[in-house]
Structure formats: C-alpha cells, structure tokens
Amino acid sequence: MAIGNTRIERDSMGEMEVPADALYGASTMRAVLNFPISDLRFPRTFIRSLGLIKQAAAQTYMEMGVLDETIGNAIVEAAQRVIDGQYDDHFVLDVFQTGSGTSTNTNANEVIANVASQILGGDLGSRIVHPNDHVNLGQSSNDVIPTAIQLAALIAIHEDLIPGMEHLQRELKKKSDEFWPIIKTGRTHLQDATPIRLGQEFLGFAGQAEYSIKRLRRAQEALAEVALGGTAVGTGVNTHPEFSQRTCARLSEVTGVEIRETGNHFQAQSTLDATVEASGELKTVAISLHKIANDIRFLGCGPRAGLGEIILPEVQPGSSIMPGKINPVIAESVVQVAAQVVGNDATVALAGQGGYFELNTMMPVAAYNILQSISLLAASANNFAEQCVAGIEATDVGPEMVERGLMLGTALSPAIGYDAAAGIAKQAAATGRTIREVAKDETSLSDAELDELLNPEDMTRPSMEVRGGGG
C-alpha cells in the first residue's frame, strides 16, 4: 500500500514504511535506521558476488526440484541484474552494521525478491517471490556473507590485481633489459657498496613483482574454500547436502575462479582465517611495492643536489612557489597506497579476532577493508607501471661515480689481503683520491693488474674463479 512517497512493507517484526520506489523492504529499512554510522558502503565487487551466489543457489535448487521453476527463473533474471550493477543504489546499508552481515544479506534477498516479483507481474512488496522462502532458500547470512567476501576477493584478485602486477612486472623487466649495460655504485646501509648494474637493480624490482604474483596465488588458494552450505552454525540445517558442492561448481564455471565447499564447515563459519591470511599476503605485496617506489624516487632525487641516477617522467608541476620543480608524485601515490593497505590489514586482523563460538561477528568491516586493499593495489600497480616506470630514463651520473667509489677496494682483497685493501680505502677517503690512485702508490700492482682487478663489470657477477679467495 502506497502512502505518498512511501509504501508499506512487512517483515517478521511487522509493518514498515519504505521509500515508494525502493527495491528493498522492511528489514533493510530497519537496518538503514539502525546504522547511521558512516558513508562507507559495500563495493561493486561485493554486491556482484552476492548476486552470483543468489543466482547460483536458485539454479541449483531448481535442478534439484526443490524450487519452482517459474519463481526460480525470475530469481535468476533478477540476480543477473544485480550482478550487472543495475541496482547498486538499492544496496543502501552502512558497512558498520550487524557483525554477521545479516542486514546486507537481507538487503540482497529483498531487492532480488521484489525485482523477481515484478518480473512475474506483481507489485513491489507483493511477495510473489519471497525474500526468505525463495531467494534465501537453503542459505543463511552466516554462510552467504563469508562466502561472498571470499568470492569477491577471488574475483578482484583474478580480474584486477594479478593483471596489474603482471603489467608492472613487464615494465620493470623492460627497464632491466634497457639498463643492463649501465654500471653504477651499489648501496647498502645507504652507504656506497660494490658496483652493480642499474639493470640488476631493476631486475630485483621485477622479481619483487613476480614474487608478489606468487603470493597472490597463495591468497587465492586460501580464499577458494568457502563456508556456503553450513547455514546457521555449520551443521547445514535446512539445506540439501549437495547444495554447496553443486553451487560452488556453478560459481567456478561462471566466474573463472576456483571456489569449493570447505571440508570443515565449523572452522570456515566461525572464523575469518582465510580472509586474514589473504589480507596478510596483500600487505606483503603492499610492502614490496613500497620498496620499489621508494627506491625509484630516491634514485631520481635531485636532479642536481641528489643522486640523480635516473630521470622520472614529468607528469605535473611540483610546486606552487618553485618554478620548474618536478616531484616523484606517482611513486608517492604508491607509498600512500601501501600505508592504507597496511592499515586495512590491521583492521582485518582485528576482525578475525571477532569469532565467538560458531560465528564471526566482524564480517562486514573485514569485507570492506580487504576489497579496498585489492582495488587500491590493482589501480596503483597499473598507474605506477604506465605513468612512472615505462618512462624512466637513466643518466650518466651512476657510471661517472663508479671510478670514485671506495668499495672498489673490495676487488683488491684477493690480491693484497683485506687489511691492506681497507687501508687503501681509508686513505682514499681521507685524501679524496681514487682507489686506483692510492693503490698505484702503495702497492706493487702494475697498471695492467689494477685494470684487471678494478674492472667494475667483473664486480657485477660472481668472480672467485677469476680472482681466487679473500675479500
């Protein structure tokens, strides 16, 4: 019954006024009023996953003969519209809500039920398709929401984050190949060390991206085992024993990611261990990106009073007061994303501690944070690859400083011993002379021997077979 700009909907607690054009019903409206906490809402990936689960559940129960096909097909069509994002503005609930996510599961049930009822010719609120009896058939918020968290994370990692990291890896490897001939001074403890190829530094960065992808594969393996089928407390009451296996197979086929029924519903439903594990892998990826971005911005610092070994692409003016100043803004963006992801991981870890007896009651905030981490890392990796790494150029500064490097003395150790080499390095440091100049005066080594020993290219690879022991 419509009253002005509202209509009357009913749930188990009685009547409730909802906006006349709202696709949700009374229970969702109660949650809207109960949780006016923030402007944080579940992202598109999570809503899509809820739609996928409701659609696959209806298909499974029709296949089993449990759900009427007319109603089931209407649910499938309505869920597809949710999957496609047609009704995102009807998923109105705050992330900070009931800890099981019951309110959001109910939101999905009511939206799909109302749309399905309209498909069958009914009005909003007519309940031709019932949100609990039909859309939520054989399910509970307690197994649907943790499954939706993991499914959404799996899809986002598969579709967005791994491709983003692969893009970054390719660009870093291209720079490694391009910069391979360039020999510069290495650094440990922020101090000069033995020579290294600029390409070797970038090979290290590319390796970090490669290993990040391996870590994401491990996260996917953790997330693949889901709670669906456990219903209220993990026992599977009110569901068919084959429901989860069949529904997970459908979800895997539709999404292209592996998802399977857990072997132990009681652990899957009472914890967020898989989500906590995956978030930890995301944190590691973030720390890895932080290292790459930080090194790149320091290698480019200057251009005249800093290291200046590389030039970063100029993407925007760097100062409102200093004309011509250019800042490493893309790298700075990456570093800030890393900070956010580390904070998100802390939230997910605390949410993981919210498992009490048969249910975790901090699922919504865990969902929001892990999905935000995936989204931020994916966008940041792509942006870093395109707007920074791809355009990096090398300067002559690194190679020019190699001959003045004090750690060239390391190459003298096999010939004259560590103590003598250390003395030469200290004298060179004190006088401003080069290792070669001091060694020529303080040792009996010929120019040819010094040329062979102090060849920086030889110092960029294992060399004991060339020079023998020592050092």
Residue 319: active-site member: yes
**Is residue 292 a contact partner of residue 333, using CB atoms and an 8 Å limit?**
no
Beta bridge partners of 183: 197
Bridging pattern class, strands 183-188 and 191-197 = antiparallel
Q: Which of 279, 449, 444, 255 is nearest to 366 (CA)?
A: 279
Contacts 24+ apart (CB under 8 A), 347-351: 348/272, 348/275, 348/276, 348/279, 349/276, 349/279, 349/280, 351/272, 351/275, 351/276
Instruction: Indicate the SS3 state at residue 113.
Output: helix
Count of CA atoms in the C-beta half-sphere (13 A) of 165:
28
> What's the rounded Cα separation, in Å, for the pair 65 and 137?
13
Catalytic residue among 38, 126, 319, 446: 319
Residue 189: active-site member: yes
Beta strands in 246-336 (DSSP E): 260-261, 310-311
The one-character DSSP state at 161 is: I
CA distances from 199 to 102, 196, 288, 408 (A): 53, 8, 18, 19
Q: Which of 94, 93, 97 is nearest to 24 (CA)?
A: 93
Catalytic residue among 189, 279, 373, 463: 189
Peptide bond connecting 195 to the previous residue in cis, omega within 30 degrees of 0: no
Cα three-residue angle 116-119-125, rounded to 5 degrees: 55
DSSP 33-90: HH----S-B--HHHHHHHHHHHHHHHHHHHHTT-S-HHHHHHHHHHHHHHHTTTTGGG
Q: Which residues contact 442 (CB under 8 A, 6 or more apart)?
A: 420, 423, 424, 427
Distance of CA 398 to the CA centre of its chain: 34
> What's the rounded Cα separation, in Å, for the pair 198 and 176?
7
Active site residues: 189, 319
